[in-house]
């Protein structure tokens, strides 16, 4: 009986330690970030975008459990070449540099319910996210690198 209690206590301690580590790691991430650069590699093609924040803005927001993002044109939809609005949100986990997004909501609905694993680096007020986005049923297989700066 004592041994069972000891084993149960050890398991509970490990579980709570892992949860506390998740909270500590996600708390240093908490905040709002503006995308400043992105690189997307699809097969042989590389798209490198340095964001012109006078025309376009993408913001990513983190709290200890959830993330959200939106990307929109600053012409309020009046420029037909740059008319865009994309948003999404969901839960995430962060263990060390391994960041897993569970995209629960997305303005492009076929992406909803998908999970993506990335590497996340936080250095001062900079955040770099990179990894594969794969959705076979949509023909999506691309490596992304996104660089953000924390908003003050």
Phi, psi for 138 (deg, rounded to 5): -105, 0
| Chain segment 64-92, per-residue pLDDT in tens | 999 999 998 887 767 766 778 899 999 99
Q: Which residue has the higher pLDDT, 66 or 7?
A: 66
Strands 140-150 and 31-42 turn out to be: antiparallel
| CATH number for the domain running over 2-150 | 2.40.128.490
What gap in Å lies between CA 127 and CA 47, rounded to an integer?
A: 20
pTM: 0.77
What gap in Å lies between CA 114 and CA 112, rounded to an integer?
A: 6
Mean per-residue pLDDT of the chain = 85
């Amino acid at each position: 009986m004592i041994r069972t209690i000891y084993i149960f206590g050890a398991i509970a301690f490990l579980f709570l330690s892992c949860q506390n580590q998740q909270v500590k790691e996600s708390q240093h991430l908490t905040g709002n970030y503006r995308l400043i650069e992105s690189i997307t590699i699809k097969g042989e093609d590389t798209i490198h975008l340095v964001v012109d924040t006078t025309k376009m803005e993408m913001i990513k927001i983190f709290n200890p459990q959830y993330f959200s993002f939106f990307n929109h044109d600053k012409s309020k939809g009046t420029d037909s070449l740059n008319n865009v609005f994309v948003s999404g949100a969901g839960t995430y986990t962060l263990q060390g540099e391994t960041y897993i997004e569970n995209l629960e909501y997305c303005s492009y609905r076929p992406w909803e319910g998908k999970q993506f694993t990335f590497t996340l680096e936080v250095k001062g007020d900079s955040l770099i996210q990179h990894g594969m986005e794969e959705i076979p049923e949509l023909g999506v297989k691309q490596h992304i690198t996104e660089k953000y700066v924390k908003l003050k």
